[in-house]
Amino acid sequence: MADQAVDTDGAEVPGEGRQPAAGSAPAESPVHPPEAPKASQFLGRTRELKELRADIERAGLDTLAGRKAPRARVLLIAGKPGSGRTALAEELVRQVAGRYPDGVLRARLTEPGGTPVPTERTARALLDALDLPAPPGAAEDDLTEALRGAFAGRRFLLLLDDAADAEQVDALLPDNPDCLVVAVSGGPLTGIPDVRPCTLGGLDTKSAVELLGRFTGEVRITCDPHSAETLVEQCGGQPAALLLAGGWLAARPKASVADLAKWLCGETDEGPALERVFRHAYVALPSVAARTLRLLSLAPAGLVDPHTASALAGCSVSTAQARLDEFAALGLVRPGWSVPEASSMNPASPLPQYEVPGCLMPLLRELTESLDRSAEIQLARARMLERTVRLLQSCRATTEPDGSPARKKLAGMPRALRFPSPAAAAEWLQVRQPALLAAARLAVADGELDTLARRLMAALVRALVAHRGTEAAAPELYGIHGLVLDVAERRGLHREKAAALLNLADLDARTGRTQQALTRYRAALDAGRQANDPYATSRAMESVGGAYQELGDWHRAADWYGRALAQRLTNGERRDAARLYGRLGTVHTYAGRYGEALRNWRSAVAAYRRAGDVPALARALSEMARVQEYAGRPEESLRTCQEAVERARHARDLRLQGALQLRLADTLERLGDPAAARLHRGAAERLLGPEAKGSAREQRADEQGGSAGTQAGADGPVRATGSAGADGPARVDASGGADGAASATGSARADGLAGVDGPAPTGGDVSAGADGRAEGEAATAAAGGEAATAPAGGDASAGAEEAQGAGQEACRTTG
């Protein structure tokens, strides 16, 4: 990671670098927002730095040809892992950052395991660092285009570390010659025009000896400078090898530099200097510590905290912490995060985090595969995933109220797994998010631990939603639901497949990809039927209808709503049936079939009246009054609207009362009673405040705007394009159902994932069983219809009693 205190891929000194800023947001690639240059402990590379700075000023091929450069200049630092290439790039960035006032952005393009990071993930992380979050599920081309748009007209310095190939870099290049890109790679980036390469060898002898002296102290170097130079030669001047050698000497104050140099000179095995020095440091470890070090190669994204090391090695958290500190002193891991509270061994603020150097990861993986049995490796991986699940459950439980089942379960957990406060849990989740997402991807790719993978994804979704909310966590949720879908398809889990498809389709619908959402809703319907899951089937039918409604296909929308209604009635789900009556009424209204619309709204009114749901009844009456007005029945509309006002008053829904008062005022004006209309409009203004006037204008424009976008008549509703999804368009009225329930799609929720005890109910809570399904349905019903029932915004609490009295007086005057 480019922003760490120790960089064994370079020549920085342990403990003397810089730590990440506490406010930096984690991302899939380590992307950091702009920061001010800081003092560096960098050694050597004077010639390389001079050449790189000169390359920034040197005229490019386009300039020599008399053309303006179309893209940013690219400086390439090429070298093997461990050559100090990242440290050199960071030092160059530190020196020239002042020329780029819009800041520095960093991204790593290769994962510790050697897998290239998808461009989509890197582009999204860079946009997040620029506070330009991209919609979940957006295509790679859309993300890179948005990124280039963000770079336009600004001066950024972009550091792309560990690039695997030219295509990765090319997709991220700004179309702006005022920006600068510093790329780090193991070889040339063929295909990128006018790239300026700088190939690294070893450090010069003087700088390398100085680096060793910072570990050993000046005395041992001064007493035997020839041995120090020999040691540098044996290390090939590679900073990573020198750091390991320095760590070995620092841990043995009585050992001389000549001892280590002699051992390396007598080493019979041929191989790179880094591999030979690492082997010497490794064999000096106790067997238990050596096993722990090997198993760190299993850490997701190469990021390790004491809990991860504890679970992998099967030891206590305190023991794991001590071993990680020892490894850091030896240069085998590098500190990535530390806080004063680290000594408490509690994941509070949060626990310290370490990173396994990328140059050592292949060596550790090779040792693990040769020395550890496959069953032991799988067991260590399972322990790590189980520990992660328990920490995520603890993280989420901190957001629950006292006395809740989750809090009671939390109280029974070991102290090391408990967070002292929701803020501490949220901070831990933020810091560990890259590792947690990487753990989910690795668990799914492994294919042997699918049950644990499902539990991990379930716990991760619930924790993200609890601490960040559905909207903020949507990009991460989209990726996790995709992983759930992979596991469900692999294992033939039709209920989970249906749930994952519904969640993905919901997110597609919310971001305007309605056609893609429709395809997934249909696939979810097929999976629900295969699972014989009536909830998933009904939910998918309703969502298909909502997608067609958003596309303006009223006939198909009514057809699918009708199918969903029949299913709900068969299952005895009366409240859901009432909502669907309202949806049918809405699409029939859009299509200009007012008779059918009134019939369905009357059915919805009757259903809510039987259920005793006063708020939903008031909204249904409000919608029925609107349709009656469209159908040319103003007297009936007036009576229905008056009843709706009375019901809204009983429900204490002030915003709905205000909206209905405005509707009454407009109806009375059409009937030729301006005095009563003024009374109702005054009551609405007292209920809604200044927004009432703007809302009245919007409502009149809506009702007088003709049939644009619909098949309705001149007095029909104008369909405004709102948020995509089965809840249909955004409107002033109570869209989507008499209860104001938002959509069949709802919002992306922590549902449809495997629970701790097996597959979760489709569309319900992650592991809550039947209660979770009810909770999921309630979340869907509460997601968004209420804001559409009245003019948005405003606080209707002021003067409520006075406004209610005025409304009663207005109704009496009208009667």
Residues 70 and 179 in one domain: yes
Alpha helices in 346-449 (DSSP H): 361-371, 374-397, 405-411, 422-446
Query: Could you give the maximum distance between any two Cα atoms of the chain, in Å?
Result: 108
Residues 360 and 226 in one domain: no
Residues 128 and 51 in one domain: yes
| pLDDT tens by residue, 201-225 | 899 999 999 999 998 888 888 888 8
137: alpha, beta or left, given left = phi > 0 and alpha = psi -120 to 50?
Answer: left
pLDDT computed for residue 774 by the predictor: 32
Q: How far is CA 394 from CA 57, 425, 636, in A?
A: 54, 8, 56
Strand, helix or coil for residue 483: helix
Amino acid, res. 293: L
Is-cis flag, bond preceding 350, omega within 30? yes
Residues 229 and 299 in one domain: no
Of the given ranges (18-32, 357-371, 511-525, 658-672), which has the lowest mean pLDDT? Answer: 18-32
Look up residue 751 and give its two tokens: 């549902």
If you average pLDDT over residues 325-346, what whole number do you get?
A: 67
- When divided into structural domains, the chain yields a total of 3
The string of DSSP codes covering 484-513 is HHHHHHHHT-HHHHHHHHHHHHHHHHHTT-
By the 8 A CB rule, do 648 and 621 touch?
Answer: no
- Name the one residue in this structure whose structure tokens are 């081309």: 141
Give the mean pLDDT of the chain: 79
Domain contains 713: no
By the 8 A CB rule, do 607 and 571 touch?
Answer: no
pLDDT computed for residue 536 by the predictor: 94
pLDDT of residue 479 exceeding 70:
yes
Residues 413 and 380 in one domain: yes
Residues 260 and 307 in one domain: no
pLDDT of residue 185 exceeding 50:
yes
Domain range enclosing 231:
205-283
Rounded distance between C-alpha atoms, residue 345 and residue 319, angstroms: 10
pLDDT computed for residue 667 by the predictor: 80
- Name the one residue in this structure whose structure tokens are 């971001």: 511
Domain contains 73: yes
How much is the CA Rg of the chain, to the nearest whole Å? 32
Q: How many residues does this entry show for the chain?
A: 815
Contacts of 393 (CB under 8 A, 6+ apart): 406, 409, 410, 459, 463
Domain contains 566: no
- The neighbouring-strand residues paired with 73 are 180
pLDDT of residue 147 exceeding 80:
yes
Domain contains 660: no
Look up residue 261 and give its two tokens: 């140099």
Rounded distance between C-alpha atoms, residue 127 and residue 145, angstroms: 11
Domain contains 6: no
Spatial CA neighbour of 42 closest among 239, 333, 246: 239
- The neighbouring-strand residues paired with 105 are 158
pLDDT of residue 49 exceeding 90:
yes
283, 318, 352 — which closes off a domain? 283
- What value, to the nearest 5°, has the Cα angle with vertex 19 and ends 179 and 209? 90
pLDDT computed for residue 339 by the predictor: 35
- Name the one residue in this structure whose structure tokens are 């020329």: 99
Percent of the chain with pLDDT over 90: 56
Spatial CA neighbour of 324 closest among 301, 348, 345, 300: 345
pTM, full prediction = 0.78
Rounded distance between C-alpha atoms, residue 264 and residue 222, angstroms: 20
Of the given ranges (226-240, 314-328, 692-706), which has the lowest mean pLDDT? Answer: 692-706
Percent of the chain with pLDDT over 70: 76
pLDDT of residue 545 exceeding 90:
yes
CATH code at position 173 = 3.40.50.300
431, 460, 475 — which closes off a domain? 431
Domain contains 54: yes
Of the given ranges (381-390, 507-516, 678-687), which has the lowest mean pLDDT? Answer: 678-687
| pLDDT tens by residue, 249-283 | 999 988 889 989 888 887 766 778 899 999 999 99
Residues 150 and 74 in one domain: yes
- Name the one residue in this structure whose structure tokens are 């550890």: 372
Residues 314 and 341 in one domain: yes
If you average pLDDT over residues 731-735, what whole number do you get?
A: 32
Residues 299 and 240 in one domain: no
Of the given ranges (147-151, 351-355, 409-413), which has the lowest mean pLDDT? Answer: 351-355
Strand, helix or coil for residue 137: coil
If you average pLDDT over residues 368-372, what whole number do you get?
A: 95
Of the given ranges (77-86, 635-644, 750-759), which has the lowest mean pLDDT? Answer: 750-759
Spatial CA neighbour of 174 closest among 134, 147, 140, 195: 147
Residues 248 and 350 in one domain: no
Domain contains 168: yes
Residues 115 and 143 in one domain: yes
pLDDT computed for residue 718 by the predictor: 37
Tally of CB atoms within 10 A around 420 = 14
pLDDT computed for residue 191 by the predictor: 85
User: What's the first-to-final CA gap in the chain, in angstroms?
Assistant: 74
Alpha helices in 591-671 (DSSP H): 594-611, 614-630, 634-650, 654-670
Residues 335 and 402 in one domain: yes
Domain contains 394: yes
Strand, helix or coil for residue 453: helix
Query: Regarding predicted confidence, which is higher, 743 or 309?
Result: 309
431, 453, 488 — which closes off a domain? 431
What is the phi/psi pair of residue 336, to 5°?
-110, -20
